[in-house]
Amino acid sequence: MTYKPKYKHVIWDWNGTLFNDVFLCADIMNNMLTRRNMPQISEEEYRRVFTFPVKDYYEKLGHKTDDENWEVISREFINEYENRKLDFELYPEARKILQTIKDAGLTQSILSAYSQKTLEEIVDYFNLSGYFIKLVGLNNIYAASKLDNGKKWMNELGFKNGEVLFVGDTLHDYEVALEIGADPVLFTKGHQAEEKLKECGASLIGCLDELQNILF
């Protein structure tokens, strides 16, 4: 079967799009809530309340996010996340669709708010490095945003409007995609509930396999 791709490049989000860390993030939050005698949330509640900027999400659950407390909360989250992340997996169809896209001759990259070093390590851990021409994470020293990095990366890629597809799992990804001139597709099994994702006009997919219908 030969595919005729509509796009030349696919930019992927990592967390909640290729890597299924949704339960992990909800569970870490519940541990933080328990330590503070605050009410627990279900995974579904987590997906309804999670948002960007992340501070707003913490505030909605009752956390104080003044500067001092924010540093404590952030460190608490990151420490537990880094300790437990390798207990979690890619979404079931992730490897297959990456291979399908590669076989069709498209190039792929990752644009993530995860730090550059940890992004490189985890992509390598899952043996996925060969699928991507570039991994674009956040470099803490320069504290650039996903949006800034995305703009730079699109300039470097040099593709025109309509040639790049951006696959993410949040309304923030949708906004970033539009700003950098890529076509957004949102995956509904990630960090935000489908009802929320429906608020924007992006194409939605409930399984990564469905990307084939959009790409070819």
Q: What is the layout of strands, in order, in the sheet containing 203-205?
A: 134-138, 107-115, 9-12, 164-168, 183-187, 203-205
| Contact region with Mg ion (CB under 5 A), list: 15-23, 44-52, 97-105, 208-216 | 15-23
15 interacts with Mg ion by CB under 5 A: yes
Using the minimum distance from each CB to Mg ion, give the nearer residue, 77 or 216.
77
Using the minimum distance from each CB to Mg ion, give the nearer residue, 16 or 181.
16
What is the residue whose two structure tokens read 């079931």?
A: 92
Residues in contact with Mg ion, counted by CB under 5 A, come to a total of 4
| Contact region with Mg ion (CB under 5 A), list: 5-13, 102-110, 117-125, 145-153 | 5-13
Helix (H) or strand (E) holding 168: strand 164-168
183 interacts with Mg ion by CB under 5 A: no
13 interacts with Mg ion by CB under 5 A: yes
Among the listed residues 30, 131, 25, the one whose alpha carbon sits nearest the alpha carbon of residue 87: 25
* Helix 171-180 with 146-157: angle, nearest 10 deg: 40
Measured from each CB, the residue nearest to Mg ion is 16
Task: Say whether the peptide bond before residue 53 is cis (omega within 30 degrees of 0).
Answer: yes
Binding track over 113-152 against Mg ion, x by CB under 5 A: ----------------------------------------
Using the minimum distance from each CB to Mg ion, give the nearer residue, 13 or 183.
13
| Contact region with Mg ion (CB under 5 A), list: 6-14, 63-71, 99-107, 153-161 | 6-14
169 interacts with Mg ion by CB under 5 A: yes
> Is there a contact between 165 and 9 (Cβ–Cβ < 8 Å)?
yes
Cβ-count burial of 17 within 10 angstroms (0-12 exposed, 13-18 middle, 19+ buried)? buried
Output the smallest distance, CB 49 to Mg ion, in A.
15
Helix (H) or strand (E) holding 152: helix 146-157
How many C-beta atoms lie closer than 10 Å to residue 95's C-beta?
A: 16
108 interacts with Mg ion by CB under 5 A: no
Using the minimum distance from each CB to Mg ion, give the nearer residue, 9 or 172.
172
Which residues contact Mg ion by CB under 5 A? 13, 15-16, 169
